[in-house]
Structures are given as structure tokens and as C-alpha cells.
Structure 1
Amino acid sequence: MRFELDRYNGVVIDPTSLPADINNLIIDLEELITYLIRQRKSLAWISVPIASAASIPLFINAGFTFHSCLRDELTLVRQPEYPTFVPFVPTHTIGAGAIVLSDTNEILVVKERGSKGFKLPGGHVEATERIQDSIQREVLEETGIDAKFESIVGFTSKHPYQFGKSNLHFICQMRALTHAINILDVDEIEDAKWISLNAYISDPTNSLSNREMISRVAFSSGLMATDVSGNNGPHRKHEIFMAVPAVVAHL
């Protein structure tokens, strides 16, 4: 079994090096635990691919616990006996909704299958996906409308959401580039339409919180996606959103 040392005095095990024979894996684990204790190492990590799932009970017996998981791998961690900080697992999912306005101040809304009223198009932000790219994709899938991201005009938080996590939902202001509706995601979306802003806000069959929120931020300038010259290197931010300043202070 191979492993590398990390900069926090921990150990990261190479899952491709796990022996296929169970007895050999048990021996390797015993040697690893002895090494961790004698060298006073901190955390020991391994991300076990689903193809090696049979090894998971052996790691559990060696003192490892569940940390986080993806569709095709489970990450395990072993803590030493002395107190050690374990980086937290992801606590939030992220979603985005779109206020898409036409040149005549009509708003684009969708109706999900099984629901009663209409809502803003939007959905889940996928891993590694930028918010601005995600919402453009969601609007296209749910309505067939090409729309350009302009700003974030609000966000909401919810807990609990799914699987005990919290959720952050960003409300994005967008500008429609096309007008003809053509629902692509017909499994999820039952209907999509343009409707006057006033008609949507005054319709009690639509969510009250949605109507109140839209009435407040539909024409806000919001936080703009911003490029910062110093945003580079190992700590580079995926996206930066800022309010448009009245006066720019030069460094």
C-alpha cells in the first residue's frame, strides 16, 4: 500500500495501490496504523472507488470513519487519539433562479410537472460549474430561451434542505436574447410562458414569496460578475461578484 505525506502531517493513501488479496490488505493496514502511531501522524485519508468497496469494512475496523462521498467513491478518514481538526464535509448545495425580462417587461416563468403555480426557471448548480453558466444552461433547458447573465440581485438560504444539508439559492437577473419558447426538459417542465410582470405578481396561485421577491428586485442592478487582476495563483476564485462602485479607488 502506497501513501503520500500531506503538508498537515497527515497521510493520503493511494487507492490504486490496495492489494487485491484481503489478507495482504489486512497486513498492510496493520503496518500503516503502527506507522501512524509511532510517527505521531495526524489524519489518514483514502478515497475508495466503488470498484474497491469490499475493502471498506477493513478500513472501518482499522479506525477509519466515513467523511464524504461521490457517486463513485467514498472518502474515509482516521483520526489519531489526540484532538485533531478534521476539515468539514460540504454543508451546502447551490441553486440559481432567473428573472428573465423581455423588452416589453414580460417575465419568463415555468411550471413544473405536479405543481400548481408558475415559478422562475432555474435549478441546481453542478460541481465545478459557474453560477452564471449554470443559470444560462437551466433557462435554455427549461424554456429554450437563450439569455445572458447580468447580475445577482438576491439570494436565499434554507435549512434543512436535502440529505440534511443547507441550500443557497441565487436569484439572477438576465436579459433574453431570443423569444420563442421551446421546452427541452419535457420530463420536468410542463409549461413555460411569457407573462406581464404585474400579472405574475398579482396572481395568488403563484408563490407569495416568489412574487414579493420579484417585485423588489426585478429592476435592481445587483452584483456584477467581476474580473480582478490579482485573482490568480493557487487561491484563484472561481467567480467574483461585486456591486458596481460609484467611485473606483485606485491602488
Structure 2
Amino acid sequence: MLDHTLDSFDGITLELEKFRGTDDQLLTELCAVIALSRINLKRLIWVTLQGSLTRFISVFLDYGFIFHNCQGSTAVLVLKLQDSAYIPFSPTHTIGVGGFVLSEGELLCVKGHSASSNLKLPGGTVDRGEKIVDEVIREVYEETGITCKFSSVLGFATKSPVQFGYTDMYFVCELLALDRDISVKDTVEIKQAQWIDIDCYLNGDHSSPFNQQVVQMSLKKLGLAPVNQESYADPIAKQEIFWASA
């Protein structure tokens, strides 16, 4: 029978990393696992197929498995054994960050290469597995050369659907500039970076109404600061907690 482990939600996860059999052998052992799982009132069967194991996808689809999510060369499939079983949805959002950096009455802004690009907050999309704090500091440095210290999350906006039908979440974070010497590192994405007088930015025509409103709302606001919470600690997963100041 196929190697498998039990989870805390009355489901099982198939472990195929050591399987070296044929399609027919897989089919026989899969039937046995499904039958035993039904007898034991299991709710879901999960399987992750990566690399060469993806050749078995058709076998699992023929037995009622459906795709849950795909990433690169890895496909995760799931079989519902009970009608009432809940299948958690796969990740459906992307996270973007913008750095609100105000120094000596001037706002740090960037502009892309396209003709329609206007002055906006430096930032980008949070990479998989990266913290918001680390990402926004890195993005601002790559796009402007300015080293910053994280202060707080000032606010966020969501939009759905966007690319691939996902929900986009955009977090605006206040950063404190540790220097003012601009030196664009990411010249592929960024055409120029500059400090601009805050009143000029808010009243000029070189920025979009959305970006102007974001900056206006960010002025003199107290955001959510990062805090340490021992009860939320995890030896494997990365965590972030932002909370309102007293």
C-alpha cells in the first residue's frame, strides 16, 4: 500500500517520494488506500506530485482527484471522500508594498520607464515566504538606493479580481530614511528616483489621483507597529504582527 500520513482533519496525505512502481502498480495501491480510507471514515486524500511524479496525474484524475494548486513543477491534488468534507482553498491573493518615506518635507518617489508612468511610492510585490517588513525595506533600497528603517503599516487597499483572478492587497508602510543619497539599483524597472516637495507632489499633475490620496491619507497618521508575541512564535514559519500604538 502507498506510504501515507494522517493529518489532524481526518484526512491522509500520500507520500510518493519513494514510489518506484509502474502505473498499474500505482493504480492497484491507490485503490487499496481509497478503500481503506472510506472504511475509516477519512474525509480527504491529498497528494503532491513533483518533477517526474507528475506523469501520474492522469491516474489520480481518473479516480476523482481534482487539482488544488500548482506551483512551478509541483501539482497538489485532492480527493473528497465525504460530501461534507471542506477543502481549504488555495492561496488566492498577492501582496504589494509601498514605502512612504518623508524626510525634510520631501517625499521619496520613483518613476518607471513607460510613457504612462508617473511618480509613485517605491515598492513592489512581496516574494513568496518573505516578510512585509523585509520586502518593503529591500524594494525601497533597490529602487532608490536609500537605506531605511521600518516604522509602521499605515494602511492597505484591496482589489479583486486582478491578475489570474487573484485578490491584490497593497500595504503602505512608513519608513524612516537613514540617508538621502539616491542611487537607483534596479535600472530595469526604475527610470528615476527623486525627493519631491510634499506639497508639490500632492498638488501637481505628475502623480495619479490614487497615489496622491494615499500620500494625503498617510500624512501625520499613526500606523500599526510591529510587535513581538511569544505565543505566536513558530520554529519553522515566519510571522509578523502589527498592532496599534497605545
Q: Take 2:176 and 2:152, find their aligned partners in 1: how far apart are those partners? A: 10
Q: Take 1:116 and 1:126, find their aligned partners in 2: how far apart are those partners? A: 23
- Amino acid paired to 2:122: P
Is residue 80 of structure 2 the alignment partner of residue 83 of structure 1? Answer: no
Task: Give the structure 1 partner of residue 97 of structure 2.
Answer: 96
Query: Post-superposition shift, 1:236?
Result: 8.3
Residues 15 and 49 in structure 1, CA contact (< 8 A), matched pair in contact too: no
Query: Post-superposition shift, 1:36?
Result: 2.1
Task: Give the structure 1 partner of residue 107 of structure 2.
Answer: 107
Q: Take 1:117 and 1:137, find their aligned partners in 2: how far apart are those partners? A: 21
Any runs of at least 4 consecutive aligned residues in structure 1 with deviations exceeding 4 A, and if so which?
A: 233-237
Query: Post-superposition shift, 1:89?
Result: 1.3
TM, length-normalised to structure 2: 0.93
Q: Take 1:122 and 1:29, find their aligned partners in 2: how far apart are those partners? A: 47
- Amino acid paired to 1:163: F
Q: How does 1:135-214 map to 2 (within 5 A)?
A: 135-214=136-215
- Amino acid paired to 2:55: A
Residues 95 and 167 in structure 1, CA contact (< 8 A), matched pair in contact too: yes
Residues 45 and 79 in structure 2, CA contact (< 8 A), matched pair in contact too: yes
Q: Take 2:126 and 2:185, find their aligned partners in 1: how far apart are those partners? A: 18
Query: Post-superposition shift, 1:149?
Result: 0.9
Task: Give the structure 1 partner of residue 218 of structure 2.
Answer: 217
CA deviation profile, 1:55-98 (whole Å, cap 9, x unmatched):
11111111110111222311110001432111121122111101
TM, length-normalised to structure 1: 0.91
- Amino acid paired to 1:170: F
- 2:149 is paired with a residue of what secondary structure? strand
Uncovered stretches (5+) of structure 1, i.e. residues with no partner: 246-251
- Amino acid paired to 1:18: F
Taking every aligned residue pair, what percent have the same amino acid on both sides?
Answer: 34
- 1:163 is paired with a residue of what secondary structure? helix
CA deviation profile, 1:177-222 (whole Å, cap 9, x unmatched):
1212111111111111111111111122311011012012122121
- Amino acid paired to 1:109: C
- 1:15 is paired with a residue of what secondary structure? coil
- 2:17 is paired with a residue of what secondary structure? helix
Q: Take 1:236 and 1:76, find their aligned partners in 2: how far apart are those partners? A: 23
Residues 116 and 205 in structure 1, CA contact (< 8 A), matched pair in contact too: no
Q: Take 1:74 and 1:52, find their aligned partners in 2: how far apart are those partners? A: 9
Residues 99 and 218 in structure 1, CA contact (< 8 A), matched pair in contact too: no
Q: Identify the range of structure 1 (29-38 vs 164-173) with the bigger mean alpha-carbon deviation.
A: 29-38
How many pairs does the alignment contain?
244
- Amino acid paired to 1:139: V
Residues 231 and 237 in structure 1, CA contact (< 8 A), matched pair in contact too: no
Q: Take 2:240 and 2:147, find their aligned partners in 1: how far apart are those partners? A: 21
